[in-house]
A = this chain, B = another copy of it.
Amino acid sequence: MSEVDEFDYIRRRLAPLSAGVLGADRLRNDGAFLVLPPDHELAMTADTLIEGRHFPEGENPALVARKALRVNLSDLAAMGATPRYYMSSVIWPEVGRDERIEGFADGLAEDQARYGVHLIGGDTTVSPGCWSIAITALGLVPAGEGVRRSGGAPGDLLAVTGTIGDAWLGLQARLGQLDARPGYDVEHFIRRFTLPDPRHTLAEAVRKQAHAAIDISDGLLADLRHLATESECGARVELEQVPLSEATRAWMSEQNDPETAIRSLTTGGDDYELVLAIPEDALPAFTQACGNRGVPVTVIGHLEEPAQGMQVMLNGRKLKPDQWGFTHF
Interface residues of A in 103-159 (CB under 8 A from B): 120-130, 132, 134, 136, 141, 143, 146, 148-150
Segment of A33-41, A176-184, A278-286, A313-321 in the binding face: A33-41
The CA of A3 and the CA of B150, in the complex, are separated in Å by 19
Shortest Cβ distance from residue A270 to the other chain B in the assembled complex, whole angstroms: 14
Q: Are A46 and B30 in contact (CB under 8 A)?
A: yes
A29-B150, A126-B328, A129-B129 are known contacts. Are A143 and B35 too (CB-CB below 8 A)?
Answer: yes
Q: How many residues of A contact B (CB 8 A)?
A: 61
A25-B150, A33-B146, A149-B28 are known contacts. Are A127 and B129 too (CB-CB below 8 A)?
Answer: yes
Q: Does A230 belong to the interface (CB within 8 Å)?
A: yes
Q: Are A123 and B6 in contact (CB under 8 A)?
A: no
The CA of A171 and the CA of B151, in the complex, are separated in Å by 49
Q: Are A41 and B45 in contact (CB under 8 A)?
A: no
A3 contacts which chain B residues (CB < 8 A)? Answer: 222, 325, 327, 329
Q: Does A87 belong to the interface (CB within 8 Å)?
A: yes
Q: Are A328 and B125 in contact (CB under 8 A)?
A: yes
Most chain B CB neighbours (cut-off 10 Å) among A44, A50, A128: A44
- Among B33, B91, B121, B122, the residue within 8 A (CB) of A50 is B91
Q: Are A89 and B48 in contact (CB under 8 A)?
A: yes
Most chain B CB neighbours (cut-off 10 Å) among A33, A43, A45, A75: A33
- Closest 4 A/B residue pairs (Cβ): A129-B129, A31-B45, A3-B327, A6-B329
**Residues of A at under 8 Å CB distance from B?**
1-3, 5-6, 23, 25, 28-36, 41-48, 50, 52-54, 75-76, 79, 87, 89, 91-92, 120-130, 132, 134, 136, 141, 143, 146, 148-150, 222, 230, 325, 327-329
